[in-house]
Structure formats: structure tokens, C-alpha cells
Amino acid sequence: MGIYDRDYNRPQSQQYYTMGSGFRGITPVVKWLLIINFAIYLVANLIPNIGEYLYYYGSVFPKTFFNAIQPWRIITYQFLHGGMMHLIFNLMVLYFMGPFVERSLGSRAFLKFYLVCGAAGGVVYTLLVLLHILPPGVMVGASGGIYGVMAALAIMMPQMKVLLWGIIPMTMVRLVILLVIVSLLTIAFGHNVGGEAAHLSGLAMGFLYMKYKPWLTQRRMERQKGAWARKVDQERNFQSEVDRVLDKVHREGINELSNNEKKVLQEATRREQESQ
């Protein structure tokens, strides 16, 4: 049971958060992901020769080791779908839930987040095949990225209310727990094992990213702060050296400068000219 087998509907009462406010109101990356996915599906189905080429070279298909190590597949497979219902339900969840996550992360970070979650599913499935745990097959779909989006939203807004199948109200965190349980049961019964493993991998990647994002941000800021401090120290040391060389010129004359001291003066002159 994949993400495309599950139905979500827009909340109708005020007690529920409104997911989506019309096509003009969605965020830019979500909008372009919807357009690109739908356009690729149309082209692939209206022009069979192109569709065959796209699915042959763009899907995750680790039948051979050479296929397994082709890096573009873990990205391109996310824009291919196995049928109209597969496409519709994936894009519907992206349309309703994606804007919340994109507004929180920012458009550039959201795109990276979405593609990395999807790529995680492709990588895990490929590894399972290479380890002979699963037989090789063709994998397509945006479900890994979609599961990552749902995991992120469950962490950001765990008490957000959604309607499962347009009928059953539940919080976002309970929905994600339910999806995990259904995926594990599906795997236990031997159905769509590779697909469910990819779904759970995307969800896990989304969970880890959102949980460790504050820590990663802090580490990045500390590195930037450290780099800035080093740059300030270097500039301070350079200015001290310039002052020392100028003092030597004043006391002993420029002819007494060493080659390194002359280079210091040349560098100081170059910086001054660039700043004018």
C-alpha cells in the first residue's frame, strides 16, 4: 500500500487547518514540482517512444551493478509515475502539505530536502537489491519525497488536523504513525516490499533532517563565526605588520626593507587601491 493508495481531502470546517488556498497561493517550489511531474507524465504517455526512453533510463532499476551506480536515477525516478492514480495522490499530498514545509524551510532548502528524501528511498531500495534481500525491479514515484514532507509536517505541526479518506479526523502525527504501521504490515505480508522500504526511508530521512536541523544550523553558524574570527585575526595581524614596516621605512629608509617586507607594502597598496 503506497502513498498513492491513500486519499486525503481538504478540511471543510474551521476546526481544521486549511491546506492550500488555490493554485496561485501555493509556494513556488511546490508549484513547479506539480507542473514538472504532471508534464513529464503527459509527455511519457502521449509520446510512447519518449516515455519508453524516460522510464528505461530514468527509473531506479538496479538489475545490473552498472545500472545501480548510475547516480542520476535516484533523482529522475522521483518525476516518473506508474499510473494516473499514482500521480494524482502523490501530487495531491504535495499540494496540500508541501507549502507548510516550504514556508518553514525556505524554497531552496525545501527543494533540497524533498529531493534528498526521495533519493534516500532510491538508495535504500538499490542497496536491498545489491545485498540480494530483494529481487531487482523498476521503481518510480515521488513517494519518498512525499513521505519526507509528511514527516517534516508531523514534527513542525504535530497537532494539525487532517481528514483521512476525507472522513476520519486525526492529528498529523497520528497519521504518520498510521502510515508507518500500514507500511510495516504491508512488508510483513510481502506486498510492495521495495516500495514500502523506499517510503519508510524517505520518511526517516525527513524525520532526521527536521530533528537535527537546529543542530546542523548551529554547527554551520559556529563554523562561519570561526571563519570570520580567523579572518579578523588575519587582518589585524596584517595591519600590525604594515605598521611595523612603515615604521621601519620612517626610521631606516625603504632600501633597508627585506623582500618579504616589500611584499607586505605592495599588498597593502593593492588593497588600498581596490577599496577606492
Q: How many CA atoms lie within 13 A of 77 on its CB side?
A: 32
Domain spanning 3-220 has what CATH number? 1.20.1540.10
The DSSP result for 63-131, as a single string, is TSHHHHT-TTHHHHGGG--SSHHHHHHHHHHHHHHHHHHHHHH-HHHHHHHHHHHHHHHHHHHHHHHHT
pLDDT tens-digit map of 56-104 = 999 999 999 998 999 999 999 999 998 899 999 899 999 989 999 999 9
Q: How many helices (H) and strands (E) does the chain have?
A: 10, 3
CA 262 to centroid of chain Cα atoms: 50
If pLDDT is split at 50, 70 and 90, which confidence band does 220 have? Answer: low
Q: Which three cell numbers stand for residue 149?
A: 514532507
The answer on pLDDT for 1 being more than 70 is no
**Nearest Cα to 142, choosing from 12, 14, 40?**
40
If pLDDT is split at 50, 70 and 90, which confidence band does 3 have? Answer: very low
pLDDT at 275: 66
**φ, ψ for residue 169, nearest 5 deg:** -80, 140
pLDDT at 226: 66
Q: What is the pTM of this model?
A: 0.72
Mean pLDDT of 41-50: 93
Q: What ranges do the domains of the chain cover?
A: 3-220, 230-275
- CB atoms closer than 10 angstroms to residue 170: 15
pLDDT tens-digit map of 99-146 = 999 999 999 999 999 999 999 999 999 999 999 999 999 999 999 999
The SS3 call for residue 161 is: strand
pLDDT tens-digit map of 139-162 = 999 999 999 999 999 999 999 888
Alpha-carbon distance of 104 to 97, in angstroms, equals: 12
Alpha-carbon distance of 233 to 227, in angstroms, equals: 10
Alpha-carbon distance of 91 to 134, in angstroms, equals: 28
